[in-house]
Structure 1
């Protein structure tokens, strides 16, 4: 079979990654950039209506922790261009009234919710770079650390509180908690700092505990971790684009930082999204309830690929 045929098979037979989600309503909380944008885009590839929320908007992004150009409107337009229907809604997921209004809008406009993705983060600048990693808690900025926990955990709790009532109204609802590292990996590996370590381990546990609560209603919750993701911020850090990202691996480059060898197993944000879209389209998705998996795990299970036809697995070495 030629390569085009292989790719077509991998994407579900008709170029639709993971099967059809047409007629389904999904909400990606934290869809402005990175994994959130990639997940929203992949759900759009499968035909879903995707409500894209976040703080960065063309209307202004004063609430965002990042001074960056990406907006929820751009994400929604990408969803629509890929075959779905993108709906941008500016939301600060720490503000209860804002999330309550979001839930009311979803109920009023769509009547139900099939997929909820909790991808809110926004703590990269609070984490700091490698020179700041492994700093003991008594030397860290306490307010910055607590802010990180609010962004990583409290936002997910607030979002679930207001949106899950819509998800359980019909059997088969799926909640995806996006984190960094699986339950197994995070249980045995110290991750960057006490605050970061706690934040990422907590989100895995949120999938476990919420899955317990969703099961009686026919719903499921799964924790999913991307691998080494070529997000907008990561590409910018290495001074490359998606088209030229392999240049960062050149040990002799003089126009930017040299990436570690493991960067060769990096992935686009769409990769984890395609796995999640396939999971959402699986009629037997309840078998994944309360589990913690990687983008690579989902790709192998559902035979999806990244946009370049590869199937990277940055977590394999762990």
Structure 2
């Protein structure tokens, strides 16, 4: 159990334009994509955000992308109005996660929001969708489970004693796919399917365990995310991403990471967020609930589009933006 090194006090009352001022957040896996956007949007709302990952300005993780670093994410958080603190962390290493949580305790004495966004397994997927389990390399498959499940368990186990020290803490498990969608759609790779369904179940279980401390646990998924890696895959940028729809019209339902970032910030700022406890949520649904939009002013609803397309193959993505 983590013990406070400094006296703890309730978080101060925050102004309306910075509803998370005085709140302390940890975004585990904030190097790029959804994690970076969630960290920045928490900062926009005034939070102090510890951002972690394995790629720094002096070291590149197995993902192999040197262009996004946790230091840059921390700077973006600070520029957005919060305070960003980069802490290089491999969330598969319990001693590194323990050092991270001890540092947050020592420096802040509290943790209000934990976002479990660690993944970094895209490089293990190529060409494996649609293959039988025994046709997929076992080493790659098990690595997916380490990156997508074990990291979350290590982080949760280590950080929750600090988060539950004060009532009202929020845990956000990040995944790909809602509970409703994944329950009837196989993700065409058993290892990936397990890795992306586990966070849904983790949020459900943690909701039960956090109830007596007034905490809330939810699982959140973006839709078709225009991450840096996804844009690179299609050979486009955020400025001209619609060019990719010429070859793949369904890409028109995609969303920038800003949408899911705003979803998590809205949840964290909602005093009535306990109504979502244990729920599986998506960025499109939360955008409607809280009234925010993507960076371009649209409100894409990817999961509703995918369901509609099953019965009407001619449905247009534009009808769900």
TM-score computed with the length of structure 1 as normaliser: 0.89
Render the CA deviation track for 1:29-57: whole Å, top value 9, x for unaligned. 00000110011111111111111000001
**Whose RCO is larger (CA < 8 A, sep 6+)?**
1
Render the CA deviation track for 1:158-186: whole Å, top value 9, x for unaligned. 00011111110111100000000011111
Rounded to whole Å, the distance in 2 between the matches of 1:275 and 1:212 is 22
Query: Residue 315 of structure 1 aligns to a residue in which SS?
Result: helix
Give the match for residue 37 of structure 2.
38
Query: Residue 188 of structure 1 aligns to a residue in which SS?
Result: coil
Candidates 126, 144, 147, aligned match of 2:143: 147
Give the match for residue 118 of structure 1.
116
Rounded to whole Å, the distance in 1 between the matches of 2:200 and 2:217 is 10
Give the match for residue 83 of structure 1.
81
Q: Cα RMSD (Å) of the superposition?
A: 1.4
Kindly indicate whether residue 268 of structure 2 is the aligned counterpart of residue 269 of structure 1.
Answer: no
Kindly indicate whether residue 281 of structure 2 is the aligned counterpart of residue 293 of structure 1.
Answer: yes
Query: Residue 81 of structure 2 aligns to a residue in which SS?
Result: coil
Candidates 272, 278, 283, aligned match of 2:266: 278
Render the CA deviation track for 1:49-103: whole Å, top value 9, x for unaligned. 1110000011313x44334321000001111111111100000000010000001
Candidates 297, 302, 310, aligned match of 2:290: 302
Render the CA deviation track for 1:100-132: whole Å, top value 9, x for unaligned. 00010000001100100000001101111xx43
Kindly indicate whether residue 215 of structure 2 is the aligned counterpart of residue 216 of structure 1.
Answer: no
Aligned length, in residue pairs: 292
TM-score computed with the length of structure 2 as normaliser: 0.88
Give the match for residue 19 of structure 2.
20
1:163-174 counterparts in 2 under 5 A? 163-174=159-170
Query: Residue 182 of structure 2 aligns to a residue in which SS?
Result: helix
Asked whether the equivalents of residues 223 and 291 of structure 1 are also in contact (C-alpha less than 8 Å), the reply is: yes
Give the match for residue 95 of structure 1.
93
Q: Following TM superposition, where does structure 1 have runs of at least 4 consecutive aligned residues deviating by more than 4 angstroms? A: none
Asked whether the equivalents of residues 57 and 66 of structure 2 are also in contact (C-alpha less than 8 Å), the reply is: no
Structure 1 unaligned blocks of 5 or more: 1-13, 251-257
User: Following TM superposition, by how much is the alpha carbon of 1:15 offset from its aligned partner in structure 2, in angstroms?
Assistant: 10
1:154-233 counterparts in 2 under 5 A? 154-233=150-229
Asked whether the equivalents of residues 106 and 112 of structure 1 are also in contact (C-alpha less than 8 Å), the reply is: yes
Structure 2 unaligned blocks of 5 or more: 1-14, 308-321
